[in-house]
């Protein structure tokens, strides 16, 4: 069997390459941790990929802002059909159409047992937590490919109840592998509930998913900030208020909307490549969003922080930031008794409920993030457009199965 996949080809470049068809063993390859080479995966299934999305998390690697090695096969947002089942899989038959959480988790360790699947202890020899196709995550091969191996399948996959119904809503359901649960986790972490006022920094797909989730949770007002006009228009298209951070500090613009320069809940959907505010918007200032959320979130409030922060950034603005040390005004957060909720989203906590919300028409995530299907071979153009700030979420369709 042949296989094609999207691979990182050095700063600013991805290419579509021939790559081995998966086996029930993790083979050596770019980014595979030596301690994971030869690992048997009889608990895995092989999927024919139906939809696999490009993410801002991929962009950090493709921009050369991580230590990702060239040749790394990308892709952690995976939805597909089971075509082969490993010897030790009991409950996932061939033919199931499933969503795969981007976190790889064993289901056996202390953290998995406590629902913390984003920091599984058994899948990545480097550190807790793993993902497909990602630097420092153990070397599990990415799913922006025709076929992909999913380990611990009985534990990890979420089956869609009906194949035809799933294919009808595939552009919504594909967001269950990452951004919808991630945005929802951001909103839950920020304490969003009925009547909350919410500020979401970032109008990329994760920010828009967080805003969508805040609405689903009953927020009174959802304000989305960015410096990209097209993305702000996308947020406004489904009822969010907007703040253009290139025009100045969000606090002033929030005051114009709410009458007070403060919100109940703050969400960071930007991460370490944050731009400054106002006159500084042309330059990178990695602690900007964290500092401004502490400023605008009410005393006693929470900060949901799905935006990614790293322990090493070769392209950082200064030496401290190269090691992930940021100039945070932590004393302000302390003074206001803020809670900080960080880390990978434990997708499994939320994906079943959000699937039901999609299947019963309670949420329109594909429309809200402007999901745009493209062929696998068009991935380089998709990456380029996303990097330029297109107000789109690109969904790769390796087998031409997604209705256009
Ligand atoms: N924690 C998790 O589990 C998880 C999962 C998925 C993605 N992520 C992370 O979430 C972040 C967002 O992902 P995405 O796909 O939406 O990325 P993206 O790059 O498309 O979006 C980021 C947006 O932030 C905007 N921005 C930059 N500086 C800003 C500022 N100071 N204020 C407001 N907006 C600003 C950019 O213009 C851009 O539109 C990334 O860091 C990604 O790695 C985390
Ligand atoms: Zn992602
Ligand atoms: Zn585990």
- Ligand 1 centroid from CA 270, angstroms: 3
- Tokens 């997708």 correspond to 347
- Ligand 2 centroid from CA 77, angstroms: 6
Report the pLDDT value the prediction gives residue 403, as an integer from 0 to 100. Answer: 87
**Cross-strand pairs, 79:** 51, 99
Question: Which is nearest to 29 in space by CA: 105, 115, 142?
Answer: 142
Report the pLDDT value the prediction gives residue 135, as an integer from 0 to 100. Answer: 95
Question: Which is nearest to 213 in space by CA: 246, 232, 238?
Answer: 238
Q: Is the CB of residue 313 below 6 angstroms from any atom belonging to ligand 1?
A: no
In CATH, what is the architecture of 4-177+364-397? Alpha-Beta Complex (3.90)
147-150 and 45-53 beta bridge pairing? antiparallel
Q: Are 139 and 29 in contact (CB under 8 A)?
A: yes
User: Could you tell me where in the chain the CATH 3.40.50.720 domains are found?
Assistant: 179-341
Fold held by 179-341: Rossmann fold (3.40.50)
Cα distance between residue 215 and residue 394, in whole Å = 23
Cα distance between residue 81 and residue 356, in whole Å = 19
User: Could you tell me where in the chain the CATH 3.90.180.10 domains are found?
Assistant: 4-177+364-397
Q: Is the CB of residue 53 below 6 angstroms from any atom belonging to ligand 1?
A: no
Q: What are phi and psi of 389, to 5 degrees?
A: 95, 20
> 151: number of CA atoms within 13 Å, CB side?
26
Ligand nearest to C-alpha 174: 2
**Cross-strand pairs, 221:** 197
Q: Considering the entire predicted model, what is its pTM?
A: 0.98
Strands of 42-118 (E only): list them: 45-53, 78-85, 97-100
Report the pLDDT value the prediction gives residue 404, as an integer from 0 to 100. Answer: 84
- Ligand 1, atom 9, residue with closest C-alpha: 307
- Which residues in the chain land under pLDDT 50? none
Cα distance between residue 84 and residue 82, in whole Å = 6
Count the Cβ atoms, other than its own, within 10 Å of residue 23. 14
Report the pLDDT value the prediction gives residue 7, as an integer from 0 to 100. Answer: 98
């Amino acid at each position: 069997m042949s296989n094609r996949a999207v691979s990182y080809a050095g700063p600013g470049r991805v290419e579509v390459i021939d790559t081995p068809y998966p086996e029930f063993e993790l083979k050596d390859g770019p980014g595979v941790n030596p301690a994971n080479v030869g690992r048997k995966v009889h608990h895995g299934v092989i999927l024919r990929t139906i939809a696999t999305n490009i993410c801002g998390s991929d962009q950090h690697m493709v921009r050369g802002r991580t230590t990702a090695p060239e040749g790394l096969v990308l892709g952690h947002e995976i939805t597909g059909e089971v075509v082969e089942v490993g010897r030790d899989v009991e409950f996932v038959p061939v033919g199931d159409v499933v969503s795969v959480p981007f976190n790889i988790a064993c289901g056996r360790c202390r953290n998995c047992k406590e629902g913390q699947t984003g920091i599984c202890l058994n899948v990545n020899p480097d550190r807790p937590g793993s993902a497909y196709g990602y630097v420092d995550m153990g070397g599990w091969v990415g799913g922006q490919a025709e076929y992909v191996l999913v380990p611990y399948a009985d534990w990890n996959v979420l089956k869609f109840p009906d194949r035809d119904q799933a294919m009808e809503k595939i552009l919504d359901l594909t967001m269950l592998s990452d951004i919808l649960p991630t945005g929802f986790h951001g909103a839950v972490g920020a304490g969003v509930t009925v009547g909350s006022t919410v500020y979401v920094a970032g109008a990329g797909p994760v920010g828009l998913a967080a805003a969508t989730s805040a609405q689903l949770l009953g927020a009174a007002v959802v304000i989305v900030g960015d410096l990209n006009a097209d993305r702000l228009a996308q947020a406004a298209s489904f009822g969010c208020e907007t703040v253009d951070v290139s025009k100045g500090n969000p606090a002033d613009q929030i005051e114009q909307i709410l009458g007070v320069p403060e919100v109940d809940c703050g969400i960071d959907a930007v991460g370490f490549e944050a731009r400054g505010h106002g006159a500084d918007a042309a330059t990178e200032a990695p602690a900007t969003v964290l500092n401004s959320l502490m400023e605008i979130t009410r005393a006693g409030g929470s900060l949901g922080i799905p935006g990614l922060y790293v322990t090493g950034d070769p392209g950082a603005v200064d030496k401290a930031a190269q090691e992930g040390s940021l100039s945070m005004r932590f004393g302000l957060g302390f003074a206001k008794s803020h809670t900080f909720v960080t880390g990978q989203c434990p997708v499994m906590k939320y994906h079943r409920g959000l699937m039901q919300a999609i299947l019963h028409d309670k949420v329109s995530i594909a429309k809200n993030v402007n999901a745009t299907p493209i062929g696998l071979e068009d991935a380089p153009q998709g990456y380029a457009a996303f990097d330029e700030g297109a107000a789109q979420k690109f969904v790769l369709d390796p087998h031409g199965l997604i209705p256009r």
